[in-house]
Amino acid sequence: MSFATTDLSDEHPEADVAEPVFSDFGGRDSFHGPIETIKVFEDNVLVKATLQTPGEGRVLVVDAGGSLRCALVGDVLAQIAIDNEWTGIVMFGCVRDTAVTRTMPIGIKALAAHPKRSEKHGAGQRGLEVVFAGARFHPGGWLYADTDGILTSPVPIHT
């Protein structure tokens, strides 16, 4: 399914549009799907556990508190996501191994790249509404992302 976030924004002004703070770090510039959310801080145990479940074309949205002190996803977790059929990851935080993740067939948007790995304590929450970058991300809602940005909607807005 081909879409442009610019067209979707014009056609659906009610859709949330994330502030332009994200960069592309995956091999797919354009991705969309139902949203799964988690909220963590400098700890990627729940990120990995979630990506190990069937993605079924969903997008994992991670509210990492905007931390720029470590990365929560790298090439290993990106491959786990691909193997489990996740279509993309939106990280309100950092990623690493970007020379590799840019070649992988998954969409990844994040604030920045960072070489340091995260802690491993297992803290966090899954399946709650998260708000960051001026947008709301509802579990089960829809996310559309391309090189122009990210839109979210509680219902599908493109067929």
CATH of the domain at 135: 3.50.30.40
Domain-embedded: residue 32: yes
Answer whether 157's CB lies under 8 Å from 9's CB: no
Give the tokens for residue 5.
């976030």
For residue 65, give its domain range: 5-153
Give the tokens for residue 136.
């709301």
What pLDDT score does 159 carry? 62
- Residue 127's alpha-carbon distances to 47, 79, 137, in angstroms, are 12, 22, 10
Domain-embedded: residue 159: no
Per-block mean pLDDT, blocks of 10 residues, the chain (159 long): 92 97 97 98 98 98 98 98 98 98 98 97 96 98 98 90
pTM beyond cutoff 0.85: yes
The number of domains in the chain is: 1
Instruction: For residues 136 and 119, give the distance between their C-alpha atoms in angstroms, rounded to a whole number.
Output: 26
Instruction: For residues 43 and 69, give the distance between their C-alpha atoms in angstroms, rounded to a whole number.
Output: 11
